[in-house]
């Protein structure tokens, strides 16, 4: 019986530091370990004793790629603790800022991290030599996402304008309207991106995922909704910890989440697309139909298409928000004093999937305990399952081709290792 | 120019959020030009192609928090002709340097179910505590304008023009109303190095010090003013203990306020 090891010491084109090791005995995969060697930073520990109002800026620093997600989940969790509801134009502005982050993050992944895999290039720079028009379009589209974040947030990485209760400054109607033409151009580029991705060659893999995402009664959920799964779970965020738990494995600095009683599950674009397709905007649904993409998509290699459809959605939704915007009287709602011990939980949809925060506050408003579950922690175990099935189907490949296939299978889920380490290196061992 | 003649650029990551190296990829208008002028020889977040060192220009993001990383930065220094630290983690230790003020054993137990799996040093320290650094870009995150200036200056063989004024100077230049004086909003602009473009005051909030200490800051005066506008001492201490908590001048101010409140 032959023994093989596939090993990648430092995964490229993922956010953060990780590795993979796969051990194969004959035609059976013995062990898959997605290792996260990104050093731990202990956010949940040092949040204790900080004021609740500090959480959005501090937790943003968990991830430079999706800071808005951290700002949004922390604001919503704090508002739940304080018994405050934010509606009207402030709520819409939050969605608009989040759309900016979805555009920036999805387009970064599509063109700079994921597309080179399908076309056989080490990176977007080399891709640009043979496909200059596509890469330039990708960069221009990404720039629109960043510009939207800068307009609303002051800058694209760690925006400064978000606070519990709303914003420090609400933009004027004219400031937002002035941005509309850029979004209209971007909408066409996003549709062209989906068509470009539809021409790629997708390896065969169909996975039986349990999809988990937020679901809102009308909207494609970003900030609000119930947590639902494709296997019938439907809960509010404050019951998240009753149904999902984090486990700690020896080879990783990240915690892995499981759905209690059923194991690994998937959050992110494939989950949202499967659960919330009918809430997508008209042009997003239409481009999905045009390229033959119908829910559920169970081939993770096709996630690049779903990110493209979600980018179309985020742009269309941004235009809708801008067209209906009226400037609020105050940029934030008033917050009541914290007089008793309170708890607040919230989940929002980061580009990579559900991001859960829970805070316990002491009277006076200092944080007593913080719990943060990042999308990549939730997907980590499910990525290992993808890898196990993929390797078993691909044993005929030589080491180099198999290693390449494994790395691609990881990048399918756009793992953010910085987030998960509160994650990754590829080793495949064949025995 | 043949590829071999281009200077080699490397980007390395230590403990951080990836936001500063993302700033390289966020240079949408300049990225392809930079790749034309420099050979991107080692940048794991952006490319699977790795060219062995030595490197002409190394950008280092993140702080040192593990024994392995303390070893790795010495190896990178030995491979780098010019080494530039980018961002608050690399230049001061970052938000994770809050553990320098705490019991790390207790932190490990608070976050991880199996603390024995986690290997970490008791401190988060800036790169310059371990190896000589040729230049630094401040900020949480760095400014893209300063990043482009750094790369341009490197290619032109000149010193980057990165002012060390305070945020107040940028605020005046931008025409912001002073949020501290006019609105009584707590603001660290007077003690914080310029570079961000005074965005917080432009959005009606006080500066929170993410570009770190301005070289000639007056700590006691800042603390006095923050007290005057109604910020309680324990809150002032926390105000100085964020993304540049371990930068010596900010550390000194926060320690002068005392340790009694949480």
Per-residue model confidence as pLDDT tens digits over A417-431: 666 654 333 344 554
Structural domain of residue B207, as residue ranges?
167-256
Do residue A122 and residue B48 have CB atoms under 8 angstroms apart? yes
Supply the pLDDT for residue A40.
79
In a domain, B58, yes or no: yes
Do B141 and B17 lie in one domain? The reply is yes
The CATH number assigned to the domain holding B77 equals 3.40.50.700
Supply the pLDDT for residue B112.
65
- Note the pLDDT tens digit of each residue in A141-153: 999 999 999 999 9
Closest CA in chain B for residue A55:
B242
Q: What's the mean pLDDT in A54-62?
A: 97
In a domain, B14, yes or no: yes
- CA–CA separation, B258 vs B233, rounded Å? 9
Residue A1: which pLDDT band, with cuts at 50, 70 and 90?
Answer: low
**Residue from the list B29, B65, B238 with its beta carbon closest to the beta carbon of A51:** B238
Do B69 and B112 lie in one domain? The reply is yes
Q: What percent of chain A shows pLDDT beyond 90? A: 76
- CA–CA separation, A227 vs A140, rounded Å? 34
Query: For A350, phi and psi rounded to 5 degrees?
Result: -65, 160
In a domain, B212, yes or no: yes
Q: Check whether B4 has a pLDDT greater than 70.
A: no
Say which DSSP state B15 is in: B
- Note the pLDDT tens digit of each residue in A16-37: 778 888 889 888 888 888 887 7
- Interface check for B95 against chain A (CB to CB < 8 A): the answer is yes
Do B193 and B249 lie in one domain? The reply is yes
- Interface check for B238 against chain A (CB to CB < 8 A): the answer is yes
In a domain, B161, yes or no: no
Supply the pLDDT for residue A106.
97
- Note the pLDDT tens digit of each residue in A328-367: 999 999 999 999 999 999 999 999 999 999 999 999 999 9
Pick from B127, B156, B185: which residue ends a domain? B156
Do residue B196 and residue A155 have CB atoms under 8 angstroms apart? yes
Look at chain A and report how many structural domains it folds into.
1
Q: Check whether B199 has a pLDDT greater than 50.
A: yes
Do residue B106 and residue A45 have CB atoms under 8 angstroms apart? yes
Do residue B111 and residue A40 have CB atoms under 8 angstroms apart? yes
Q: Mean of the per-residue pLDDT values for chain A?
A: 92
CA-based nearest residue to A49, from A419, A370, A343: A370
Do B93 and B129 lie in one domain? The reply is yes
A-contacting residues in B 26-85 (Cβ below 8 Å): 26, 28-29, 31-32, 35, 40, 44-50, 65-66, 69
Question: For residue A246, which residues of chain B lie inside 8 Å, CB to CB?
Answer: 113
Do B90 and B146 lie in one domain? The reply is yes
Q: What's the mean pLDDT in B26-41?
A: 95
As to burial, measured by CB atoms within 10 angstroms (0-12 exposed, 13-18 middle, 19+ buried), residue B115 is middle
Q: Check whether A135 has a pLDDT greater than 80.
A: yes
Look at chain B and report how many structural domains it folds into.
2
Do B69 and B137 lie in one domain? The reply is yes
How big is the A-B interface in CB pairs under 8 Å?
190
In a domain, B261, yes or no: no
- Interface check for B145 against chain A (CB to CB < 8 A): the answer is no
User: Is beta strand A367-373 parallel, antiparallel or unpaired with respect to A353-361?
Assistant: antiparallel
Supply the pLDDT for residue B52.
94
**Residue from the list A44, A157, A160 with its beta carbon closest to the beta carbon of B23:** A157
Q: Check whether B260 has a pLDDT greater than 90.
A: no
Asked if residue A95 lies in contact with residue A281, where contact means CB atoms within 8 angstroms, the answer is no
- CA–CA separation, A405 vs A391, rounded Å? 8
Supply the pLDDT for residue B132.
98
Q: Mean of the per-residue pLDDT values for chain B?
A: 92
Q: Residue B244: count other Cβ atoms within 10 Å of its Cβ.
A: 32
Do B130 and B238 lie in one domain? The reply is no
Asked if residue A208 lies in contact with residue A335, where contact means CB atoms within 8 angstroms, the answer is no
In a domain, B162, yes or no: no
- Note the pLDDT tens digit of each residue in A282-316: 999 999 999 999 999 999 999 999 999 999 999 99
Q: CA of A70: how far to CAs of A61, A67, A346, in Å?
A: 8, 5, 11
Supply the pLDDT for residue B92.
98
- CA–CA separation, A334 vs A411, rounded Å? 42
Supply the pLDDT for residue A425.
31
Question: For residue A156, which residues of chain B lie inside 8 Å, CB to CB?
Answer: 26
| Closest CA–CA distance from residue A45 to any residue of chain B (Å) | 5
Structural domain of residue A26, as residue ranges?
3-430
**Residue from the list B31, B44, B96 with its beta carbon closest to the beta carbon of A12:** B44
Pick from B156, B189, B204: which residue ends a domain? B156
CA-based nearest residue to A162, from B168, B199, B243: B199
State both tokens at A203: 């390896």
Asked if residue A374 lies in contact with residue A422, where contact means CB atoms within 8 angstroms, the answer is yes
Q: CA of A141: how far to CAs of A146, A177, A288, in Å?
A: 9, 18, 19
Asked if residue B45 lies in contact with residue A14, where contact means CB atoms within 8 angstroms, the answer is yes
Do B35 and B98 lie in one domain? The reply is yes
- CA–CA separation, B82 vs B54, rounded Å? 10
Do residue B110 and residue A154 have CB atoms under 8 angstroms apart? no
State both tokens at A136: 């330039």
Q: Is the peptide bond before B85 cis (omega within 30 degrees of 0)?
A: no
- Note the pLDDT tens digit of each residue in A226-242: 999 999 999 999 999 99
Q: Check whether B65 has a pLDDT greater than 80.
A: yes
Do residue A16 and residue B18 have CB atoms under 8 angstroms apart? yes
Do residue B47 and residue A122 have CB atoms under 8 angstroms apart? yes
- Interface check for B102 against chain A (CB to CB < 8 A): the answer is yes
Supply the pLDDT for residue B33.
95
Mutate: best of B203, B205, B210, partner A, most A CBs <10 A: B203
Do B135 and B234 lie in one domain? The reply is no
- Interface check for B210 against chain A (CB to CB < 8 A): the answer is yes
**Residue from the list B13, B108, B262 with its beta carbon closest to the beta carbon of A17:** B13
Query: For B84, phi and psi rounded to 5 degrees?
Result: -120, 130
Question: For residue B104, which residues of chain A lie inside 8 Å, CB to CB?
Answer: 42
Closest CA in chain A for residue B97:
A41
| Closest CA–CA distance from residue B31 to any residue of chain A (Å) | 9
Closest CA in chain A for residue B30:
A139
State both tokens at A288: 């999905």
State both tokens at B183: 């609105």
Closest CA in chain A for residue B39:
A125
Q: How far apart are the first and last CA of chain B?
A: 59
Asked if residue A205 lies in contact with residue A393, where contact means CB atoms within 8 angstroms, the answer is yes
The answer for residues whose C-beta is within 8 angstroms of residue B6's C-beta and 6 or more apart is B37, B38, B39
- CA–CA separation, A339 vs A357, rounded Å? 21
- CA–CA separation, A168 vs A132, rounded Å? 40
Pick from B105, B129, B156: which residue ends a domain? B156
CA-based nearest residue to B57, from B79, B82, B40, B33: B82
Q: Check whether B2 has a pLDDT greater than 70.
A: no
Q: CA of B225: how far to CAs of A99, A121, A302, B246, B261, in Å?
A: 39, 56, 57, 22, 20
- Interface check for B216 against chain A (CB to CB < 8 A): the answer is no
Asked if residue A275 lies in contact with residue A213, where contact means CB atoms within 8 angstroms, the answer is yes
- The complex's ipTM? 0.94
């Amino acid at each position: 019986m032959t023994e093989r090891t596939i090993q990648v010491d430092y995964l490229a084109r993922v956010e953060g530091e990780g590795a993979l090791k796969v051990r194969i005995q004959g035609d059976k995969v013995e062990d898959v370990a997605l290792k996260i060697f990104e050093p731990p930073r202990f956010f949940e520990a040092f949040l204790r004793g900080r004021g609740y109002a500090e959480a959005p800026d501090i937790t943003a620093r968990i991830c430079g790629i999706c800071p808005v997600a951290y700002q949004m989940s922390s604001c919503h969790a704090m508002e739940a603790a304080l018994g405050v509801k934010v509606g009207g134009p402030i709520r819409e502005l939050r969605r608009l800022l989040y759309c900016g982050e979805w555009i920036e993050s999805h387009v970064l992944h599509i063109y700079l991290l994921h597309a080179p895999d399908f076309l056989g290039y080490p990176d977007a720079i080399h891709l640009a030599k043979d496909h200059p028009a596509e890469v330039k379009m990708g960069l221009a589209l990404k720039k629109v996402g960043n510009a939207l974040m800068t307009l609303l947030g002051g800058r694209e990485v760690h925006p400064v304008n978000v606070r519990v209760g709303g914003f420090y400054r609400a933009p004027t109607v004219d400031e937002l309207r002035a941005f509309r033409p850029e979004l209209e151009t971007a909408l066409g580029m996003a549709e062209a991106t989906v068509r470009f991705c539809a021409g790629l060659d997708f390896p065969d893999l169909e996975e039986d995922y349990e999809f988990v995402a937020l679901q809102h009664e009308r909207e494609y959920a970003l900030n609000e909704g119930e947590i639902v799964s494709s296997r019938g779970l439907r809960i509010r965020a404050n019951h998240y910890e009753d149904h999902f738990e984090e486990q700690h494995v020896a080879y990783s600095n990240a915690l892995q989440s499981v759905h209690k009683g059923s194991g690994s599950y998937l959050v992110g674009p494939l989950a949202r697309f499967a659960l919330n397709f009918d809430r997508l905007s008209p042009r997003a649904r239409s481009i999905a139909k045009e390229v033959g993409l119908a829910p559920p998509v169970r081939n993770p290699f096709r996630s690049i298409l779903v990110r493209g459809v979600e980018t179309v959605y985020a742009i269309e939704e941004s235009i809708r928000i801008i067209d209906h915007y009226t400037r609020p009287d105050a940029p934030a709602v008033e917050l009541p004093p914290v007089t008793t011990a309170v708890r607040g939980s919230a989940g929002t949809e980061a580009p990579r999937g559900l991001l859960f925060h829970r805070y316990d506050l002491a009277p006076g408003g200092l944080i007593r305990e913080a719990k943060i579950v990042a999308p990549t922690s939730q997907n980590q175990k499910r990525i290992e399952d993808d890898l196990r099935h993929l390797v078993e189907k691909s044993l005929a490949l030589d080491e180099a081709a198999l290693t390449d296939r494994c790395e691609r299978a990881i990048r399918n889920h756009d793992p953010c290792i910085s987030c998960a380490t509160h994650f990754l290196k590829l080793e495949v061992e064949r025995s | 120019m043949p590829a071999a003649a281009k200077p080699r650029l490397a980007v390395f990551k230590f403990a951080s959020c990836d936001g500063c190296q993302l700033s390289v990829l966020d240079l949408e208008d300049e990225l392809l030009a930079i790749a034309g002028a420099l050979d991107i020889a080692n940048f794991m977040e952006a490319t699977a192609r790795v060219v062995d060192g030595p490197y002409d220009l190394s950008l280092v993001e993140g702080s040192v928090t593990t024994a392995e990383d303390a070893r790795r930065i010495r190896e990178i220094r030995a491979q780098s002709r010019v080494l530039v630290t980018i961002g608050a983690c690399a230049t001061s230790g970052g938000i994770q340097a809050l553990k320098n003020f705490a019991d790390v054993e207790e932190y490990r137990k608070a976050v991880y179910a199996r603390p024995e799996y986690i290997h970490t040093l008791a401190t988060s320290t800036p790169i310059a505590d371990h190896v000589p650094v040729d230049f630094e870009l401040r900020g949480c995150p760095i400014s893209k304008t300063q990043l482009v200036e750094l790369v341009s200056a490197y290619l032109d063989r000149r010193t980057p023009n990165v002012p060390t004024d305070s945020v107040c100077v940028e605020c005046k230049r931008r025409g912001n109303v002073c949020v501290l004086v006019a609105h009584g909003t707590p603001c660290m602009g007077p003690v914080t190095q310029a570079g961000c473009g005074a965005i917080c005051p432009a959005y009606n909030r006080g500066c929170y010090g993410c570009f770190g200490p301005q070289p000639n800051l007056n700590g006691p005066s800042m603390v006095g003013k923050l007290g005057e506008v109604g910020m309680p001492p324990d809150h002032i201490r926390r105000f100085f203990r964020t993304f540049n908590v371990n930068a010596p001048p900010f550390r000194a101010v926060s320690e002068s306020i005392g340790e009694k409140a949480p």
